[in-house]
Amino acid sequence: MDQEILEIRGKYCDELTTLGEQKEKKFNELRDFALENQNALFSIKRSLSTKYGNFGFRSGKSRFSLSPFQNWNSITAMLKEILPQYVRIKYSPAKDKLLQDRNMNEVNKFFPVLGLSVVQNENSFIDLNK
């Protein structure tokens, strides 16, 4: 049985390789199209449905991006003075609390001083119908 499967795979190996490369190329083209038209197509809904499948964007988890001249130790030291409620007992930044309250003006006004910015990655996806 395994031998028969290997023979069939060998027989269609070139065709499978070609089709795989074509599929990869078309997926890249679709991803590029989605990125170029992100504001027009995905401003309200994060995905589009077609008769062939769905494609769009998924938002990643919010996280902090440090400025090049900052590290978490210096940020912790500044947070102790500026926003002590966002420093844990073991003196590490309460990143989850900072992210949760990032839209509060009394918190986010210190982000530039601390060298923090909130970033959220987006990943494109394609789900084919079967």
Residue type, 110: F
pLDDT of 105 strictly over 80: yes
- Is 0.85 topped by the overall pTM? no
- What does the alpha-carbon distance between residue 119 and residue 63 come to, in Å, rounded to a whole number? 6
* 3-state SS assignment for residue 53: strand
pLDDT per residue as tens digits for the range 32-89: 888 888 888 888 888 888 888 888 888 789 999 999 999 999 999 999 999 999 998 8
At 130, the pLDDT band (50, 70, 90 cuts) reads: confident
113's CB contacts (< 8 A; 6+ apart) are 78, 82
Domain parsing of the chain, residue ranges: 2-56, 63-119
